[in-house]
Structure 1
C-alpha cells in the first residue's frame, strides 16, 4: 500500500483496524474523504456516527516507511505536549501508530476542527488572541528535565530537529544549527563560502549574542514551542472563531525561537 491508497476521497469506509481501535466505542464509520494537503504524505477526514447518534469527525495523516513512523510519533508527542498546557490552542491528538495491514504505513490521528476558508476576511487569527494563547504556552509549560530539548525527535517537514537535552540555550542552539547545516551539506554538497560563514557564526556571532543571556545570573526558562510556527500552520476555528495551530514539531527552547524552517526534498 502507498500513501495514496487509503480510500480518502472515494467515500470509502474501509479503514485499517489499527485506526479503528483508536476511535470511540460504539461508532459506525460513514465515510472518509481527502482533506488538506501534505508534502510528505496523505491527509484525510473520517466521519463517524457515535452510539448516541451524533456525528463526529477525525483528521488523519498517513506517512510511509521508517521516516513516517518517526514523523507521526514526533507530531503526536508535540501536539500532546501543547494540548496538555493550552488545550484550546490545538486539536486534541488521539493516537499514532502503524497499520495492521501495511506495517510500513503509519498514521497520526486527532480530532477534526473545521477552519475558516483562507483568503476570506477573518480567516487569519486575531493577533491579540493568538499572542495570548502563544504566551500562555510559553509561560505555563515546564520542561520535564529543566533543560532545553525534547523526549523524542521531532521533524520540521522531513528534517529531524536536534532535541538532545542541554542545560545551556547557547549550546542547544549551536547544536541545532550545526545539525541543520550538516543536513544541508549532505543534500547539496560542501561550500567554501558556507564553511567560512559558519565559522564566524559559531565562533563569534552566537557567543556574542547568546552568551550574555545566560551570564551574570541571567537565566532563560526552557519554554515549549510549536517548532514550525507560520501562517500555513495556523487558522481560525469556524464554530468558536478562536485561533488554532497544528503540524507541531515542538521542543523546549527560548520562547522567541518560534520560526519556520525550510525543508529539504
Structure 2
C-alpha cells in the first residue's frame, strides 16, 4: 500500500522488468507448469511488483507474486525479505505467503527479485479478534532456538537497513537498534539540537528504566519471532479464505510487545482495539505498570524510522519528538530511580502502582492525524 501524501516520487525501477518472466524466475517455478502471463499487481514505493499466472498439467491455476528492484542494494533487500518471510512461514504458514526464492535475472545480473505465492487480497483491515489472536499465536510458536535476541540476516525497511545484531538481552539489542535509527534519521532530516538532547535522555535514562526491569529481579524475557513492521499497509485479507495475510516482514527475535508499536499511532487503521484484544491472548510482561510507556518507546522507534524514509517531510520527526519528550520528562532518574522505588517498597513505604486497564492503552498518545 502506498500513500502519495507521504511520498510521490517515481518508482526507481523501470517498468520493463515486469514485462516478461526472466529465465531465473522460471527456474523457481515447477517445470511442468505452463506460464500463462505476467501483469502488474500491487503497489510499492521502491519495487516493481507483478503477478505471474501459471497452469499445472491438470489445469489448475497457480499464481506467484514477483517483486523486482535493481542494484546491489536490491540483493540485500530480497535476501533479508526471503529470510524473514521464511522464518515466519515456517511457524505460521496459515498467515504468511509461502516464499519461493530470490536471485538475480539471467538477462541482467543487476536486476534482483523476490518470488512468493500469490494471494488475491482486498484492501481492508482484518477482524480484530481473529487477527490479534493469530499474532499472539505466532509469538507463542516463534521462540528463539538459541535464546538470543536479534536476527542473523540484515533486513531493509524501504531503503533503510534494519540491523539486529544477535544479543543476549533485549535492552542490549534495542539500545543498538535505537542508536542506529537515530543516526539514520538525522542523516535524512539533518541535525536538530532539541532532538539530540532528547536522544540523550532516551538512550541514557528511558531505555534502561523501561527495559532493564523486564530482565532483572528474577524476570526473564523469552525472545519471540516478530514481523516488526505490522501496520495496516503490510496486512491484507485473502479473497478466497477471508483470512488475514501478512507480508513485507522485517523479522527478528524480540520482546513480543515490540510487535504492537505500529498499532499505537492514530493514523493507522490497525489500532488500539487490536492491542486490547492481543492482551487477552498474550499476557502483559512484568512490570505490567510499565506496559503503556514501553509501547510508546517502541512506537518512537517506528516513527523515527518513518521519518528516515522521507527527506524534508518532518511530520514523523515531530510526532517522535513529542513522544520522546513525554518519556524523558517522566523518567529523569532512569533505572536508578526505579531501583530506589523498589527499595522503598521493600522497606515498607507505601507505593502507588497503577492497575493496567487495556481499554485505556495509549490514552496519552498525541492525536496526530494524517496530512
Q: TM-score, normalised by structure 2?
A: 0.67
Greater C-alpha radius of gyration: 2
1:148 corresponds to = 149
Q: Are 1:217 and 2:218 matched, yes or no?
A: yes
Measure how far apart 1:15 and its partner are: 1.3
Structure 2 unpaired stretches of 5+ = 1-11, 263-301, 311-371
2:69 corresponds to = 63
CA deviations over 1:132-155 (Å, ceiling 9, x no partner): 210111111121331110010011
2:253 corresponds to = 252
Q: In the TM superposition, what are the counterparts of 1:189-228 in structure 2 within 5 Å?
A: 189-228=190-229
Secondary structure of the residue aligned to 1:256 is helix
Q: Are 1:5 and 2:16 matched, yes or no?
A: yes
RCO greater where, 1 or 2, for CA within 8 Å and sep 6 or more? 1
CA distance, structure 1, for counterparts of residue 13 and residue 239 of structure 2:
32
Secondary structure of the residue aligned to 2:309 is coil
Kindly indicate whether the alpha-carbon contact (under 8 Å) linking 2:13 and 2:47 is maintained by their aligned counterparts in 1. Answer: no
CA distance, structure 1, for counterparts of residue 133 and residue 189 of structure 2:
40
Q: Are 1:127 and 2:138 matched, yes or no?
A: no
The count of corresponding residues between Structure 1 and Structure 2 is: 255
Secondary structure of the residue aligned to 2:168 is coil
Structure 1 unpaired stretches of 5+ = 9-13
Kindly indicate whether the alpha-carbon contact (under 8 Å) linking 2:18 and 2:48 is maintained by their aligned counterparts in 1. Answer: no
Larger fraction in strand? 1
Measure how far apart 1:99 and its partner are: 0.8
2:365 corresponds to = none
CA distance, structure 1, for counterparts of residue 101 and residue 203 of structure 2:
39
Measure how far apart 1:202 and its partner are: 0.8
Measure how far apart 1:249 and its partner are: 1.1
Q: TM-score, normalised by structure 1?
A: 0.92
1:40 corresponds to = 46
Secondary structure of the residue aligned to 2:38 is strand
Q: Are 1:109 and 2:109 matched, yes or no?
A: no
2:180 corresponds to = 179
Kindly indicate whether the alpha-carbon contact (under 8 Å) linking 2:238 and 2:244 is maintained by their aligned counterparts in 1. Answer: yes
Measure how far apart 1:2 and its partner are: 4.5
Measure how far apart 1:3 and its partner are: 3.7
Secondary structure of the residue aligned to 1:91 is coil
Secondary structure of the residue aligned to 1:51 is coil
Q: Are 1:93 and 2:99 matched, yes or no?
A: yes
CA deviations over 1:114-147 (Å, ceiling 9, x no partner): 112x2xxxx3211111112101111111213311
**Residues 1:149 and 1:7: Cα distance change in structure 2 (over 3 Å):** closer
Equivalent of residue 37 in structure 2, options 31, 38, 54: 31
Q: Are 1:19 and 2:25 matched, yes or no?
A: yes
1:264 corresponds to = 309
CA distance, structure 2, for counterparts of residue 227 and residue 106 of structure 1:
24
Kindly indicate whether the alpha-carbon contact (under 8 Å) linking 1:3 and 1:41 is maintained by their aligned counterparts in 2. Answer: no
2:232 corresponds to = 231
CA deviations over 1:54-99 (Å, ceiling 9, x no partner): 1111000001101111111111111110100010001111101111
2:351 corresponds to = none
2:347 corresponds to = none
CA deviations over 1:25-68 (Å, ceiling 9, x no partner): 21111111000011111000000111222111100000110111
Point out 4+ residue stretches in structure 1 off by more than 3 angstroms.
none
